[in-house]
Amino acid sequence: MRVALDRLLGVVEGDPSLVHLERFAGRPARHRQAAPPVAPALAALLPGPLWSHQADALELARGGSSVVVSTGTASGKSLCYQLPIAEAILDAEEGNGQPSSALCLYPTKALAQDQLRSFTALGLPGLVSACYDGDTEAGRRSWARRHANVVLTNPDMLHAALLPHHARWATFLSRLRYVVVDEMHTLRGVFGSHVAHLLRRLRRLCAHYGSEPVFLFGSATVGEPAALARELCGGPVVAVTDDGSPRGERFFALWDPPVIDPVSGARASAHSETARLLAELVAGGSRAFAFCRSRAAAESVAAEAVRRVGPVLGSTIRSYRSGYLATERRDIEAGLAGGHLRGVVATSALELGI
């Protein structure tokens, strides 16, 4: 990690466009075992001991309390809802509980696909996960309704495909134990109001089919996470905000594009500077993301970065935006996960959950 940071600093330090560099120190992890401990069959599938906030969230969910986990980036929030879901399914498989299902809502297809890989990687007997979104073929949708006990979708599909046709989902809804709402901090304004109404409709249908699901929210750090979660689901929610995850050393650089016309004071465009930085980082052996506000900007920055690094390294730089075919998006996501891609220029279609 130190070598990677030194390499990164070597790219930006000394450049007159760097006007400020801030260092944030790392911190060690704080571990805690949940009470009662996670079953050995499930603990063997985990990457390591639980961080303290993960154990807190698991104990609350086990007790039937809705929870919002509001901690930093890369703090293992996904495991805070994957664990209670997996435990409920494992208990049913071992004859210690009733069959359970879970509905997971994500704001983007990319994030849903990423979490589908995480659920699949658990390899837990009895856990059958499936995406149900606009990219899902008709045959796969029918299969998901009949067989999946963990369905990953988005608010639009919940509104247009699940709730209006709830009779087709009667078994799934009657067994619904957990509802996951990830990236809660994005649910603001009119969109947030719409999602709040959707969750209330979902709760009414669950009551009709005899279930009362626990809501599990994941959020970046916000001022009042419990208050926002309560407004969304219409019920009491407990906040878990004490982050026990480790964090590496981080640097924040403030970049000011150089002046290209001293007379008018005109500066180089932010897009050209982004492409230059991305190209230098990739050429220096680093992996980097660049985020742009529009599809056209993402395509332009990626093309300029490819031109700068040449055809060999250029094959490791891609743009990512909405509008691509599902197969193209999955190919880029696989390249990221496998390490083939060194640079990605994306819109917010990829931003959430990275």
Instruction: Report whether the peptide linkage leading into residue 36 is cis, meaning its omega lies within 30 degrees of zero.
Output: yes
Among residues 174, 169, 177, 110, which one has the least CA distance to residue 144?
169
Q: How far is CA 282 from CA 18, 67, 270, in A?
A: 19, 40, 18
Residues in the chain: 354
Terminal alpha carbon distance of the chain: 18
pLDDT at 353: 46
Q: State the Cα–Cα distance between residues 113 and 317, nearest whole angstrom.
A: 21
Q: What is the Cα–Cα distance from 162 to 168, expressed in whole angstroms? A: 8
> Cβ distance 78 to 86 under 8 Å?
no
Exposure b/e, 76-92, CB count within 10 A at least 16 = b: bbbbbbbbbbbbbbbbb
The C-alpha atoms of residue 134 and residue 106 are separated, in whole angstroms, by 13
8 A C-beta contact, residue 87 and residue 62: yes
**pLDDT, position 165:** 96
Instruction: Quote the CA–CA distance of 312 and 226 in Å, as a whole number.
Output: 49
Q: What is the pLDDT of residues 53-74, one digit of tens each?
A: 999 999 999 999 999 999 988 8
Token pair recorded at residue 69: 């986990």
| Tens-binned pLDDT, residue by residue, of the chain (354 aa) | 455 566 667 767 778 888 898 988 999 999 999 999 999 989 998 889 999 999 999 999 999 999 999 998 889 999 999 999 999 999 999 888 899 999 999 988 888 988 999 999 988 989 999 999 998 999 999 999 999 999 999 999 999 999 999 999 999 999 999 999 999 999 989 999 999 999 999 999 999 999 999 999 999 878 899 999 999 999 999 999 999 999 888 888 898 999 999 999 899 999 999 999 999 889 988 899 999 999 999 999 999 999 999 999 999 999 999 888 888 888 998 898 888 999 999 998 875 544
CA distance linking residue 353 with residue 73, whole number of Å:
8
Identify the pLDDT of residue 250.
84
Spell out the domains of the chain, with CATH numbers in brackets: 40-240 (3.40.50.300), 257-351 (3.40.50.300)
The reported pLDDT for the residue numbered 147 is 96
Cα distance between residue 237 and residue 226, in whole Å: 6
Report helix, strand or coil for 31: strand
Q: What is the pTM of this model?
A: 0.81
Sign for the pseudo-dihedral over CA of 40, 46, 47, 51 = negative
User: Would you state the pLDDT for residue 47?
Assistant: 87
Q: Where are the beta strands (DSSP E) in the chain?
A: 18-24, 67-70, 101-105, 129-131, 150-153, 176-181, 214-219, 238-240, 250-255, 259-261, 266-267, 288-291, 317-320, 343-346
pLDDT for 351 equals 57
Residue 225's pLDDT is what? 96
Q: Are strands 259-261 and 266-267 parallel, antiparallel or unpaired?
A: antiparallel
Rounded to whole angstroms, how far apart are CA atoms 353 and 77?
10
Separation CA 174–CA 101 (nearest Å): 9
